[in-house]
Amino acid sequence: MKKSSIFISVLAASMMMSSLYAAWTVEEYNQNGSTHKITDGNWEIGVTKHSDDNWSLGKSQGSSYIAGSGVLDFRTLEADCGVVLKKFNNGAMENTDTLTHVYLPDSVETLVGNTFQLSDALEFVDFGNGITEICTSACGNCKVLKKVILPKNLKKIRTSAFDGCSELVLTPADIPQTVTSIGYRAFKNCKKFTGDIVLPNFTDTMGKDGYQFEGTSITSFSAPNLNLIPNGIFCNNGKIVSATFSAAITNIGEYAFHNASSLEKIYPTEFPHVQSIGYSAFRGCKKLDVSFDFSKSHLTIVPTYALVDLLKVKSIKLPKTLVQLNSESLAYCPASRAIWFMGPPPTTIGNSALYPSSGGTWLLIGGCEFADEWKKSENVIPLGDGDAAKALKLAADLGVTGVKPIGKWTYQAGGTTHWVMEELPKATVILVF
């Protein structure tokens, strides 16, 4: 049977079967070098001769067809044809409207891309055990997809693989611990992805983009060898309580935990290797109950909203390299919080960068030389005895020795006098030690 005759038969059959559609192709050479037409349940598959010894499925003009509805078992196709299916080409079965269940044989090793994307009726996929990568947009926006069986030795889950699969139920048992790479938006808005996820081999985010688990319901996450926190990885996740990453984190992405309203713990809390922290990284983490220590890092900027609205964070230590606090970068936190500047204050402080939600806040500025310079400065005004006593008590509670309380926080930069106290209530206490 020639490709043209197959295509003609599709057109003819389409007039009789409403479920017939030319959504994909089978156009590979089989072991006997002959052409087959296989009927499996409600599905009819046309197969044409090709110059390759492996099988491949994909879209191509005027070639082959598939008709029917319901369950499609490619394991039966292999058995009936006496062939070995190896590869699915780009968009092999995307945008179908009658396919409900798919079973892939273990012989399939490659999915090129968009395999089942936008298949409106698809409820179940068994990927077999031959695949090591779930391709880009493999099941993207399959709105009724409820269950998948992933390969036992899966290594990579690429961009948007299950993005928008809002009915997909996933638990820790469904994700192989062999996974090393998870791409951009891989599980975004998989609202029924829940549980305590442990991925000991996850080290690669396939680029700087993240949002791998945005909008999921994962309750705890552990990737102890992942040395960065990707952009938006748990953005808008209201269920996650704890998260663990490598102790050697180099970057904290923008929106990483934005509105993760249940987050209580994160590891590590000390970041000696961090080079940057992103916009709105921890905004709205009102239950986060830790002390952040960036003091040994080379961080130079705290971006807008990066550490804002942290009602339970006890203290934040900032490094000597810090030169800039953007607007509202450390704002809206309670009086019990302590901010430690381990060197001179930043040369640029944005609007409301340090504004507290209520009462005062504690600004602890470290470094003896800096303390001595401030002691001599005419802009340093001593606090009253009562405030000094409060400051000394706080220092003792925090284990800080050699404290010298001072008053209004001002400094000269570019010929301009900066008055941080204009944004802070009178209850604010600054400690220099």
Query: What is the per-residue pLDDT across 274-330, written as a single tens digit (0 to 9) for each?
Result: 999 999 999 999 999 999 999 999 999 999 999 998 988 888 889 989 989 898 898
Is 328 within a domain?
yes
Q: How far is CA 426 from CA 328, 330, 334, 421, 429, in A?
A: 19, 18, 14, 8, 8
Is 399 within a domain?
yes
Is 143 within a domain?
no
List per-residue pLDDT tens for the chain, 433 residues long: 333 222 222 222 332 322 223 233 343 333 344 455 666 567 766 655 444 446 666 655 544 456 678 888 888 777 766 667 888 888 888 888 888 999 999 999 999 999 999 999 999 999 999 999 999 999 999 999 999 999 999 999 999 999 999 999 999 999 999 999 999 999 999 999 999 999 999 999 987 789 999 999 999 999 999 999 999 999 999 999 999 999 999 999 999 999 999 999 999 999 999 999 999 999 999 999 999 999 999 999 999 999 998 988 888 889 989 989 898 898 887 655 677 777 766 777 777 787 765 544 555 555 434 444 444 444 344 444 455 566 666 666 666 666 555 544 444 444 555 444 444 444 455 555 4
Residue 369's H or E segment, with its range, is helix 368-376
Full-model pTM: 0.80
Query: Encoding tokens for residue 214?
Result: 């945005």
Specify burial of residue 16 (Cβ count, 10 A radius: 0-12, 13-18, 19+).
exposed
What is the DSSP code (8-state) at residue 54? S
Is 390 within a domain?
yes
Percent of the chain with pLDDT over 70: 64
Q: Find the domain containing 304 and state its range.
A: 294-433
Is 375 within a domain?
yes
**396-431 core/surface letters (b: 16 or more CB in 10 A; e: else):** eebebeebbbbbbbbbeeeeeebebbebbeeebbbb
Is 313 within a domain?
yes
Is 432 within a domain?
yes
Beta strands in 54-180 (DSSP E): 55-58, 66-67, 70-73, 85-88, 99-103, 110-111, 124-126, 133-134, 147-149, 156-157
CA distance 214 to 189: 6
Q: What is the tally of structural domains in the chain? A: 1
Asked if 404 and 375 count as a contact pair (C-beta separation under 8 A), the reply is: yes
Residue 212: closest CA among 225, 193, 195: 193
Asked if 214 and 183 count as a contact pair (C-beta separation under 8 A), the reply is: no
Is 117 within a domain?
no
Residue 90: closest CA among 60, 112, 61: 112
